[in-house]
Amino acid sequence: MKNYHFSTAILTRPSNGLYRFPSPAKLNLFLYINGRLENGYHELQTLFQFLDFGDWLEIEVRDDAQIILSPKIPHLKQEDNLIYRAAHLLQQHSGCQLGANIHLDKILPIGGGVGGGSSNAATTLVALNTLWKTQYSLEELAQLGLQLGADVPIFIQGKAAFAEGVGEKLHYCNPPEKWYLVLKPDVSISTGLIFQAPNLPRNTPKKPLSQLLTENYTNDCEKIVRDHYPEVEELISWLLQYAPARLTGTGACIFAEFDDAKSAQAVFLNKPEHCFGFVAQGVNVSPLHQMMKRLFK
C-alpha cells in the first residue's frame, strides 16, 4: 500500500528532477457561527489543524510554458482544476516562462470537508514558487491563493490557526496534537444548503481563543447536517460509542480524537465497511512546510 502518512515517508532529493510534495488534510476542530452579515456571509470562529496524512503531488519542471496534469479527472476540464488554476495563476502573476508536469496521487475524499482541493492548490503554489524561483513570500502567495478559495491561504501559511470574521482574520496557535480517526459516509453535502438552513444556530457568543481552548469543542453545523443526512447521523452515533466525535466543517467527514495512535487504530479496525477512513495525527506545522524546509535548506 502506498504511504500517505508524511512523517514516515522516505525523503530524498530527486536525481531525475521529479519532486514529490505532500498535500495534507485539515480538520476544523471546532466551528461556531456568531452572526449573519447583510451580504449573506456568516461570521464564525473556527480552529484549523493539519493532519499528517493526505495527497501527494509529483512535480517536474518543463522548459516550455505548458502545464500538464495527470491523471485526467472525469467531467472536469483541465482549466477548471484547482491545481491547473494555481499553476496558471502563478505563471501569469510572475511572468514565468517555465511549465510543469504535475501528477496528483489522490487519496483524500472529494467533498469531505478536509480541504483536499484547497490543499492541492496551496501545495502547487508553494512548490512551484520554489521550483520556478518566482521568490514570492508566503504572504504574497496567500493573497494569490485567496483568488482560488477561502481555505487556500491557511494551507499556504502552513500553521494551525484560529480564524474569525468570515474566516479572514487568522491567529496562529498550537492546539494539542492529538490522534484522529476520520471517517466519511457515502454522501455529498451541500455547504450552501447547510448555511441557508433556517434553524442553523447564528448567535453563538464570541469568545477569546484562550477560553475556547479550555472548553469542549463542538460544531454549530452538526445538528443541521445530522438532521438532513441520515448517513452522517448513523456514523456519528456509532463513533460516539468509542470517543468524543463531531463533524469537520459542514462535512461529510466526521472525526474522533484519541490520545494515542493505538487507541485510534483499534476503533478504525471496527469501522463500518461502507465508509472511507484513516487514522492520522494532528500537526500544527504543515507537513508541506516541514518537507520544504528539509528539501531546500
pLDDT band at 94 (very low <50, low <70, confident <90, very high): very high
Least confident of 20-34, 116-130, 161-175, 247-261: 161-175
| Catalytic residue flag (residue 26) | yes
Tell me, yes or no, whether 39 lies in a domain.
Answer: yes
Q: Is the pLDDT of residue 158 over 70?
A: yes
Tell me, yes or no, whether 8 lies in a domain.
Answer: no
240: CATH: 3.30.230.10
Tell me, yes or no, whether 116 lies in a domain.
Answer: yes
Tell me, yes or no, whether 3 lies in a domain.
Answer: no
Q: What are phi and psi of 233, to 5 degrees?
A: -55, -45
Provide the domain count of the chain: 1
Give the helix/strand (H/E) hosting 262.
helix 261-268
- Of 235, 297, 286, which Cα lies nearest the Cα of 115? 286
Q: Which of 151, 159, 184, 220 is catalytic?
A: 151
Q: Is the pLDDT of residue 295 over 70?
A: yes
At residue 157, the pLDDT reads: 96
**Residue 149, by phi and psi: left (phi above 0), alpha (psi -120 to 50) or beta?**
left
| Catalytic residue flag (residue 80) | no
At residue 1, the pLDDT reads: 38
Tell me, yes or no, whether 2 lies in a domain.
Answer: no
Q: What are phi and psi of 193, to 5 degrees?
A: -60, -40
Q: Parallel, antiparallel, or unpaired for β 161-164 and 42-62?
A: antiparallel
At residue 4, the pLDDT reads: 65
DSSP string, 116-153: HHHHHHHHHHHHHHHHTT----HHHHHHHHTTT-TTHH
Asked if 92 and 144 count as a contact pair (C-beta separation under 8 A), the reply is no
- Of 296, 11, 283, 3, which Cα lies nearest the Cα of 155? 283
Tell me, yes or no, whether 258 lies in a domain.
Answer: yes
Q: What are phi and psi of 204, to 5 degrees?
A: -65, 125
**Counting Cβ atoms within 10 Å, is residue 135 exposed (0-12), middle (13-18) or buried (19+)?**
exposed
Tell me, yes or no, whether 213 lies in a domain.
Answer: yes
Domain interval for residue 47: 15-295
- Give per-residue burial for 64-94: e unless 16+ CB within 10 Å, then b: eeebebeeeeeeeeeeebbbbbbbbbbbeeb
C-alpha cell read off for 277: 477512513
Asked if 33 and 164 count as a contact pair (C-beta separation under 8 A), the reply is no
Tell me, yes or no, whether 265 lies in a domain.
Answer: yes
C-alpha cell read off for 156: 499556504
Least confident of 5-19, 62-76, 278-292: 5-19
Give the tens place of pLDDT for each residue, 192-227. Answer: 889 999 999 999 999 999 999 999 999 999 999 999
User: How high does pLDDT run on average in the chain?
Assistant: 93
Task: Give the per-residue SS3 of 37-73.
Answer: CCCCCEEEEEEEEEEEEEEEEEEEEECCCCEEEECCC
Q: What are phi and psi of 71, to 5 degrees?
A: -75, 165
At 217, is the secondary structure helix, strand, or coil? coil
Residues 29 and 46: their CA atoms lie apart, in Å, by 7
Give the tens place of pLDDT for each residue, 225-283. Answer: 999 999 999 999 999 999 999 999 999 999 999 999 999 999 999 999 889 999 999 99
